[in-house]
A and B are shown apart, each in its own frame.
Chain A
Amino acid sequence: MPIDHKRINGPEESVPYELFARLSGITSEKTFEETQSANIRTDGRKFDEQRKIFLKNGVVSQAKGSAYMEMGQTKVMVSVFDPREIPNRSDYSLKGEIYCEFKFAPFSCPKRRLHQQDNEEKQYSSIMKKALESTVCLHELPNFQVDIYALVLHNDGSALSAAINAAGVALAEAGVPIYDIVASVTVGVQQGINFLDPTLSEEQMCQTQLTTEKFPNPNHAVVIISKLPMQQQLCQFHQTGYMSLDQLKSALELLTKTCETIVPLVQKCLLSLVTNSIKP
């Protein structure tokens, strides 16, 4: 890897200390078996139970709109800036554009992240962009670009959903015209079980295929959806892994139901924003 001259570099090679830890023997399979037999998740939740959510707007004073969201341990910040002219473009476009940047802080994951955007972050940026593109009234911002930046401070699963939810609040605070508020939820699937709002270890468990002898059901996937609740429209859908259509149907039902529970939180946040601005 080329040396980054713009930062202070450490030693040429360093490895996470967890690699040398005494083997605890925890594998995805074992965790799943335990969870399945106990019929309760490792953090004490039911399979269709969400973690506690904390949502706050106006956290970055320098941005036009910003929001901070906590889902359990996951902490995400999003800020939105004023529309600006699309840089490096000579022709005129009737529709506006959205620029999204999704970043994990170097210390936010079990393994240290590098400063440059990696492929996963690029993929998340593009998913987020797609979700918000159909939310913002782009025809009202001809030839302008809205910048949206998301930073994950602590990743404990469902970080992308948290970022999209927070981005919706930040956009509304910034006064960018949007068709509807956005609500986004993640679900992990392993065998026939839907893990709503998975933690990082559950996300990893749902992304591995367990041995087929013991677990004949091949379903293992992570599904993220974003909805425009008032319009009853799906604005983004992303799925990795393998799942049967029946399983997808049940997962989607659960996701749709959960999106409804996020809406009042967002509404409450925006309502206090408006009422505070009315009060002198």
Chain B
Amino acid sequence: MAEQYKTLHSAKYYRDYLKNDIRPDCRQLSAFRPVIINVDSIKTADGSAIVKIGRTTVVCGIKAEICRPKPETPRQGFLVPNVDLPPLCSSKFKSGPPSDQAQVLTQIIADILENSRCINLEQLCIFPDKIAWCLYADIICLDYDGSLIDACALALISCLKVVTLPEVEYDPGLDKQQVNLEKRSPLNISCTFVATTFAIFDDKLILSDPSSEEENLSAGTLTVVTSDEELCYMHKPGGSPLNEEQITKFISICFFKLSVILRNIATY
């Protein structure tokens, strides 16, 4: 009976719950779902991380290849993030080229990466103008249950922290390179970013870390990305207006969440 009511009258179903300050999954309005991070379980990748936020599951794998730097930036390597939303993760997506949503997510993740300046691309250069690393970071969603930006960002940063690259010796005279697979070293990551998503329900109720159902029913969402001390990205699609006070409040919540996550990341 409850299930029929939910399908036919989903907005009202939610409103009845939210009136009592509780969500259908038994969370408080401002509660986050538990986060699980698992790193380096995929040995074929140079670094990998699996992140679960509630039921949302995202895997990120980084594979390094060798390439030539761009002539305009001879001292830099590449970091190429791509988000994939395969039909496997939800019935919303169909097979074929990336959906609009996947393209938007890819761009958001690329922007966050650039704004946060967490990785200096110069460390990916092996010899200026000749040879550099190209890191392909592929982020794949395995289970789509909302707050995907949070999960993707967390997977990417966790993955970057565990990537190791083999040592390369380059002889500019002979234009020959040799890779020493035995000796691997990690990257230098200068900061950690954490994304936090809120859904704005009925113009006034704020739900933290929304599930996909909550995202669908809400008029808009707000995603704030913070890195160590600063704000590095904010994204607010949708119509519900917010005032300055509310936004400042969200940002402070994000910093709190960042500190919690940082403590957890530090343990591996």
Contact = CB atoms under 8 A, between A and B. Distances in A.
Chains A and B touch (C-beta atoms under 8 A apart): yes
A81, A105, A112, A151 pick with most chain B CB within 10 angstroms: A105
Given A10-B80, A10-B136, A20-B178, A107 B106 contact: no
A224 B42 CA distance: 24
A21 B88 contact: no
Interface stretch (B142-150, B231-239, B242-250, B251-259): B142-150
A115 B95 CA distance: 11
B44, B55, B64, B180 pick with most chain A CB within 10 angstroms: B44
B261 to A, nearest CB: 23
A61 B55 contact: yes
B66 interface: yes
Contacts of A81: 87, 91
A6 B143 CA distance: 22
A22 B42 CA distance: 24
B179 A20 contact: yes
A153 B59 contact: yes
Contact of B63 (A20, A106, A153): A106
Contacts of B134: 10-11, 14
B241 interface: no
Nearest to A10: B80
Interface in B123-182: 134, 136, 138, 140, 142-145, 166, 168, 177-181
B136 A17 contact: no
B43, B110, B136, B142 pick with most chain A CB within 10 angstroms: B142
22 contacts: A7-B106, A8-B82, A9-B80, A11-B69, A11-B78, A16-B66, A17-B65, A17-B66, A17-B179, A20-B66, A20-B168, A60-B143, A62-B89, A63-B90, A63-B91, A105-B140, A112-B63, A112-B136, A149-B86, A153-B42, A154-B41, A155-B44
A110 interface: yes
Nearest to B47: A107
B63 A151 contact: no
Interface string A103-136: 1011111101001000000000000000000000
A53 interface: no
Contacts of B39: none
Interface of A: 6-11, 13-22, 59-63, 73, 75, 77-79, 81-82, 101, 103, 105-110, 112, 115, 147, 149-151, 153-156
Interface residues on B, range: 35 or more
Contact of B43 (A17, A73, A79, A112): A73
B47 to A, nearest CB: 9
Contact of B143 (A20, A61, A147): A61
Contacts of B102: 6
B84 interface: yes
A105 B106 contact: no
A150 B103 CA distance: 22
Contacts of B143: 59-62
B90 A62 contact: yes
Given A73-B43, A115-B82, A13 B168 contact: no
A14, A21, A147 pick with most chain B CB within 10 angstroms: A14
Interface in B33-65: 41-45, 48, 55, 57, 59, 61-65
A71 B219 CA distance: 44
Contact of B88 (A82, A110, A112, A151): A151
Contacts of B180: 21-22
B91 A62 contact: yes
B136 A62 contact: no
Contacts of B41: 75, 154
A17 B84 contact: no
B67, B89, B107 pick with most chain A CB within 10 angstroms: B89
B68 interface: yes
Contacts of B69: 11
Nearest to A149: B88
A103 B102 CA distance: 17
A105 B138 contact: yes
Given A7-B106, A59-B143, A20 B48 contact: no
B138 A107 contact: yes
